[in-house]
Amino acid sequence: MTSTDKKPEIRVIRSGRRTLALSVQRDGSVLVRAPFHVPDSEILRFAESHRDWISRQLQKQAEAEKARAETEVLSREELEALAEEALKWFPEQVRRFAARIGVTYGRITVRNQKTKWGSCSSAGNLNFNCLLMMAPEQVRDYVIVHELCHRRQMNHSAAFWAEVERALPDYRGARQWLKQHGAELMLRNPHA
């Protein structure tokens, strides 16, 4: 932040935690989570020592807001069409990859989610975001494999990623595509 920049509001939440943590909220304020015993002066020093990081986060938020304003949002009909397409496409691909990985699964649902591409419940029910139908097929395959591998490892440990790589050796490219383009796709959601 330069001296001409407006300083963001700093809000503090105290709890039984052991360390200080910082986040920039959507409204531009800075939230510091702090242990009960840490004095206000130390909290302010902590926030000040992270001013460059705060500035970068505020810049990212401004860019995301601009991108959101420039992105063509899908209509309700377009979302419904994507969901119908996904309901036809995902079950066959899930069957194929589940056989390859050697796992079972429960129900498959398709939703219009704001933040997740997929999920796997402890009961093995799978959920996929209909916006994935706008992604390349290898990206959709990666999300399926990712969720099915949670049937073996309900975490993101090294063992989990080894399972993913066994099932889909080139998963890293699809994962990178989601990191680079996923936010753009999510912005197409009218409920984002």
Q: Is the pLDDT of residue 69 over 80?
A: no
- Residue 185 burial (CB count, 10 A): 20
Is residue 1 over pLDDT 60?
Answer: no
Are β-strands 126-129 and 108-111 bridged in parallel, bridged antiparallel, or unpaired?
parallel
State both tokens at 35.
């242990």
Whether residue 65 sits in one domain with residue 96: no
Indicate if the pLDDT at residue 64 is higher than 80.
no
Average pLDDT over residues 56-69: 77
- Residue 59 belongs to a domain: yes
Which CATH number covers residue 166?
3.30.2010.10
For 31-99, the three-class secondary structure string (H helix, E strand, C coil) is EEEEECCCCHHHHHHHHHHCHHHHHHHHHHHHHHHHHHHHCCCCCHHHHHHHHHHHHHHHHHHHHHHHH
Distance CA 128, CA 181 (A): 17
59 and 83: one domain? no
- 65 and 83 together in one domain: no
**Is 43 within the bounds of a domain?**
yes
Residue 4: per-residue pLDDT? 39
* Residue of 81, 94, 8 lying closest to 44 (CA atoms): 8
User: How confident is the model over 13-57, as pLDDT tens digits?
Assistant: 999 999 999 999 988 899 999 999 999 999 999 999 999 999 999
Last residue in a domain, options 70, 90, 108: 70
pLDDT digits (tens, 9 = 90+) for 140-174: 999 999 999 999 999 999 999 999 999 999 999 99
The pLDDT score that the predictor gives to residue 71 is 63
Same domain? 63 vs 148: no
Q: How many domains does the chain have?
A: 2
My answer on whether 20 and 106 are in the same domain is no
**Sign (positive or negative) of CA dihedral 142, 144, 146, 148:** negative
* Residues 80 and 66 placed together within one structural domain of the fold: no
Mean pLDDT of 51-70: 80
Task: Calculate mean pLDDT across residues 83-88.
Answer: 96
Are 53 and 95 in a shared domain? no
Residue 3 pLDDT grade (very low, low, confident, very high; cuts 50, 70, 90): very low
Could you report the per-residue pLDDT of 181-191, keeping only the tens digit for each?
Answer: 998 888 888 77
Look at residue 3 and tell me if it is in a domain.
Answer: no
Give me the helix-helix angle, 76-101 and 137-149, nearest 10°.
60
pLDDT of residue 139: 98
Same domain for 30 and 112, yes or no, is no
Parent domain of 111? 76-187
In the numeric block, the tokens 């986060």 are attached to 57
**Could you report the per-residue pLDDT of 89-115, keeping only the tens digit for each?**
999 999 999 999 999 999 999 998 888
